[in-house]
Amino acid sequence: MLNDKTIQIIKSTVPVLEIHGTAITKRFYELLFSNYPELLNLFNHANQRQGKQQTALANAVYAAALHIDKLEMILPAVKQIAQKHRSLGVKPEQYPIVGQMLLKAIKEVLGDAATDEILGAWADAYGVIAGVFIEVEAGMYQAAEQQEGGWADYRAFRVERKIVESEVITSFYLVPQDGGAIATFEPGQYVSVKLDIPGEANTHIRQYSLSDAPGKPYYRISVKREDTLQNRPAGKISVYLHEQIGEGDVLHLSAPAGAFTLDQQDERPLVLLSGGVGLTPMVSMLKTIVTANPKRRVIFIHAAQNGDVHAMKQQVDALASLHPQVSNYVVYDKPTMNDRSLQAFDKEGYIDLPWLKKVIPTTNAAFYFCGPVPFMRMMNSTLKEFGVDAADIHYEFFGPAGSLEAETEAQPQR
């Protein structure tokens, strides 16, 4: 445990971290990768280039400093990060390296303001925080390996089927190459996929939500192809999966992980809101709940540009037709002529509060949403304005955790 003096010193640095946190974490990653280039195999290089990882770490460090006297306050965030670490294969021996580089970054960025006393306090605090992560992750590693059908690290899976779901999303049905059983998972969880791409110096690891219900002899991931956009390069991994990985090829997967999971004990109505490829964990939740609790009311709302890029629509429509307790709504902001002729959508434009009030009969429900960050910011602010209790709002970031409060929430784009 930390003594009172150390706690006070750490708390005194909170205003500094609020200002210089991202500069510190940016320098931290530069030092980490220049001194330990092998760790590049664990990180998403695109998130590094876009600054997402630096911002996420800065937010985590700031939260740890703010709650250093009550670390239980950040335990949910610790468990979420630990799930990602377990799926990536982060090891206990890597924590001292991280601590050393973090302290060096603090000193370089803050200069003389980072006194020996402050650095000593942060060294002590980091030791305590790292210990929490190591302990939590040890339990997760053990559970992942010892569960029925479980395994440690990565396991080879063969692509049994490759199905085009839309112009931009393709599903991969994956079965274990060794023919053994596979671990179950909670709807909403993901697997890490590790790829060694010819010509690439480093291994690439990406997380993809499991898009089918548990209990099948396969895992299904549904991958959106991220092509070049303005100010953003193409998604190297998604393009490789779409273009180079076919039926019969082998991918290496971690055991399922993730803290964004469906509470199946809740009997209240379930509202599932998704934008774009954010529907993947929602489809898993929908497929699970109609079997596990067929009496539970479900409202499934998906937003996409149009029917050309709307994946798994027929699957969701079929479930809704078979299960009268499921209400299914589609929102397109740029519907095609074909969408209009088929009457394939329920609302043109964006999901807004007046429309939500028409299709959702009560705020006493469980709300789950996932999609691009602007979409999630809009859903978060809209649900709050609707009067939904914060405890009933659940969401998942694809990539490093961010803040839904960080930017103006009046941008309804996807």
Identify the H or E element spanning 302: strand 298-304
Provide the annotated binding site for FAD. 190, 206-209, 397-400
- Interacting residues of 257 by C-beta distance below 8 A, sequence separation 6+: 83, 84, 86, 87, 140, 144, 189, 190, 191, 192
Return the sign of the alpha-carbon dihedral for residues 108, 113, 114, 115: positive
Q: Give the pair of three-digit tokens for residue 91.
A: 């090891």
Residues placed in the known binding site for heme b: 85
CB 174, CB 316: distance < 8 Å? no
List binding-site positions.
85, 190, 206-209, 276-281, 397-400
**95 among known catalytic residues:** yes
Give dist(CA 286, CA 291) in Å, integer.
9
- Token reading at 122: 């942060």
Nearest to 107 by CA among 97, 121, 118: 118
- Catalytic, out of 29, 62, 126, 137: 137
Torsion of CA 248, 197, 207, 66, to 10 degrees: 170
List binding-site positions for NADP(+): 276-281
Catalytic site residue from 29, 62, 95, 173: 95
Q: Is 165 among the residues known to form the active site?
A: no
Positions annotated as catalytic residues are 95, 137
